[in-house]
Amino acid sequence: MSTDERPAEVVGAGVVAVVAVLAPVLSGALAIALLLVGYILKTLDPEPAIARTVLAGGWVFGGVSAVALLVAAVGLLFAALREGPQAVEGEPETAPAGTDAPDSRAGLRTVGFASFVAGDRRAHLREEWAAILGGDPGNGVVLSSRRRMRYALGFLWAALRMRISDLAAPLWTPVDWLLSVESRTHGFIALAVGAQILYIQHEDGVHALVTEGWGWCAGCGIALRLFVGWLRRIRGVELASTHSESRDQ
């Protein structure tokens, strides 16, 4: 392969990786947005005629997202098997010691393509993954063909998760901002419960709110509080006091 052809192949692989990751993510996000708007419109009285159309569009994009995810997974697998290890600059042409060349090359192809998906700032993972596939023949650690391929596909799946995490990171910024200060969290919960109180009072009246609706509102507040605590744990958010926040400002 000439040096002129190699950059074109690298760019092509990068485009395939970006499209494969963005297609299901964008269609899924659009599906969630349309379904959310559609169900909010259905709560209005009278129900707008566009509500059913918006809901139908949400379910359509949900199906598109599922199909895109399946096609992307299959496409990435075939592309990984098709791309040679030479497509990645600096990747060795030879198989790791102690392994049969065809199976080793297939694993290196998958690792090379996974490095494209993971992104340039994680290029160091290519050497680490290739070293894992090579095993340690000096100490008697030689991976079988099936295990090497299973590891290589696991690396590809990890690279996909890394790229999706990179794309979703900006969406977590307002959530982390809301969770980082207790007063913001309390305001959000109060706003949600207050909206529920207004909705029950508007639809069923004050009597229904006093006799039955208060239980739903209390349950909503408790559920939101538990949900906020769970989000803080998985996001690793540490609470900041309002005094320290005012000093920073």
Q: Residue 241 class from Cβ within 10 Å (0-12 exposed, 13-18 middle, 19+ buried)? A: exposed
137 within some domain: yes
175 inside domain: no
Question: Which residues constitute the domain of residue 140?
Answer: 5-169
Q: Dihedral, CA atoms, 13, 15, 19, 20, nearest 10 degrees? A: 10
Q: Comparing C-alpha atoms, which of 227, 241, 138, 224 is closest to residue 182?
A: 241
pLDDT tens digits, 90-146 = 444 444 444 444 556 777 777 887 887 787 788 888 888 888 888 777 777 777 778
In a domain, 174, yes or no: no
Domain check: are 122 and 28 in the same one? yes
Q: Which residues are 240's β-sheet partners? A: 181
| pLDDT tens by residue, 37-92 | 888 877 777 777 787 888 888 889 888 888 877 777 676 666 555 554 444 444 44
- Predicted local confidence at residue 90, as pLDDT: 43
Q: For residue 231, is it within any domain?
A: yes
| Residue 3: predicted pLDDT | 45
Q: How many domains does the chain have?
A: 2
Nearest to 127 by CA among 147, 151, 146, 108: 108
Specify if 153 maps to a domain.
yes
Domain final position from 150, 169, 188: 169
**Which has the higher per-residue pLDDT, 158 or 242?**
158
Q: How many residues does the chain have?
A: 249
CA 83 – CA 16 distance, rounded (Å): 12
Give the C-alpha separation, 13 to 4, whole Å: 15
Residue 135 to residue 19: CA distance in whole angstroms: 33
Question: Is residue 32 scored above 50 in pLDDT?
Answer: yes
Share of the chain above pLDDT 70, in %: 74
Helix axes 182-208, 145-179, angle to 10 degrees: 70
